[in-house]
């Protein structure tokens, strides 16, 4: 009998061309599929909660595995981790109904974007945070970012060429905070458009530098035009931080993280 198992994983995306399997590049999905085949002895379809770009990381990423293996959900994380590289780890496994879908049953996600605000690079943050040498006022940017809250057409914050027709999304939480030299942008929403978070960050950086005016985010949103927003921030500072479902992920076996 085929089982549907929800895996919660975490990964450093520096060495990967995103999540989705590609014919000519190494991806997180492919490496995970190979580990699952090593454990179960068979190819098992794996469906992710989202796509991630090259170099993007995940503190929490969820995916469903369809398998006929009898291995217990208690044993599966350790078995997979023994076959995975150090930059990918399985945090938990949970048995789900056959109809559950990691992407379509997702109720929302939270992303964080990390900026290393320093004139000197850190060898420990290469590929894990954006190095930004110019002054940043986190409290000012926090006030600016609040304009993202609510339900809007985020066409201005979607990469050109996206095939998505409905660009209306609801942002439920947003903030900018500083801890030492690290400035973190956090945003939670019911869904995200392609490059949406990176364009949000780039817009805030352009406001900080004066390329865009203070309090300009409402007019950028209402323009519904990608050219009205700021640059697309690089991928290396972006982390999928949490994934939300109608149940608490903290109840799963060996779980790390929980629903809001």
pLDDT value at residue 134: 97
pLDDT value at residue 259: 33
Give the model's confidence band at 161: pLDDT under 50 very low, under 70 low, under 90 confident, else very high: confident
Same-fold call for 3-105 versus 108-240: yes
Give the model's confidence band at 249: pLDDT under 50 very low, under 70 low, under 90 confident, else very high: confident
Task: Give the β-pairing of 108-117 and 182-189.
Answer: antiparallel
C-alpha Rg value of the chain to the nearest Å? 19
The sign of the CA dihedral 231, 108, 214, 225 is positive
Of the residues 12, 53, 86, 153, which is catalytic? 53
Lowest-confidence region among 9-13, 19-23, 66-70, 123-127: 19-23
State the CATH class of domain 3-105. Answer: alpha beta
CA dist., res. 58 & res. 62, Å (int): 10
Q: Give the predicted TM-score (pTM) of the model.
A: 0.92
pLDDT value at residue 250: 60
The 10 Å Cβ neighbour count of residue 1 is: 5
Residue 230 tokens read as 């700021």
Nearest Cα residue to 237 out of 73, 108, 125? 125
Specify the CATH number of the domain 108-240: 3.30.70.660
| All structural domains of the chain with their residue ranges | 3-105, 108-240
Q: Which residues pair with 216 in a beta bridge?
A: none
b/e per residue 164-176 (b: at least 16 CB within 10 A): eeebebebeebbb
What kind and span of H or E run contains 65?
strand 57-67
Mean pLDDT of 52-60: 95
34 is catalytic: no
Does 16 score more than 70 pLDDT?
yes
Alpha helices by DSSP H, the chain: 28-40, 76-81, 138-145, 196-209, 217-223
pLDDT value at residue 252: 44
pLDDT value at residue 160: 85
Give the model's confidence band at 247: pLDDT under 50 very low, under 70 low, under 90 confident, else very high: confident
pLDDT value at residue 163: 79
Mean pLDDT of 147-158: 98
pLDDT value at residue 142: 98
Quote the mean pLDDT of the chain: 94
Does 44 score more than 60 pLDDT?
yes
Question: What three-state secondary structure class fits 228?
Answer: helix
């Amino acid at each position: 009998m085929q089982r549907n198992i929800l895996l919660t994983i975490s990964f450093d995306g520096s060495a990967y061309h995103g999540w989705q399997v590609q014919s000519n590049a190494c991806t997180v999905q492919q490496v995970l599929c190979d580990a699952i085949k090593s454990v179960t002895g068979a190819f098992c379809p794996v469906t992710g909660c989202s796509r991630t770009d090259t170099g993007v990381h995940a503190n929490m990423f969820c995916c469903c595995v369809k398998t006929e293996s009898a291995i217990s959900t208690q044993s599966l994380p350790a078995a997979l981790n023994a076959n995975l590289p150090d930059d990918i780890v399985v945090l938990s496994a949970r048995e789900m109904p056959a109809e559950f879908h990691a992407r379509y049953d997702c109720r929302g996600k939270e992303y964080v974007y990390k900026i290393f605000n320093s004139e000197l690079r850190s060898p420990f943050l290469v590929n894990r945070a954006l190095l930004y040498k110019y002054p940043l006022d986190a409290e000012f940017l926090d006030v600016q970012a609040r304009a993202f809250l609510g339900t809007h057409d985020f066409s201005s914050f979607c990469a050109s060429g996206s095939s998505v027709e409905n660009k209306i999304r609801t942002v439920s939480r947003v903030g900018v905070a500083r801890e030492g030299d690290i400035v973190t942008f956090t945003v939670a929403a019911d869904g995200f458009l392609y490059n949406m978070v990176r364009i949000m960050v780039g817009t805030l950086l352009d406001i900080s530098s004066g390329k865009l005016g203070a309090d300009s985010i409402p007019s950028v949103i209402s323009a519904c035009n990608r050219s009205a927003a700021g640059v697309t921030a690089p991928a290396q500072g972006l982390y999928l931080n949490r994934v939300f479902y109608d149940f608490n992920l903290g109840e799963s076996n060996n779980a790390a993280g929980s629903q809001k």
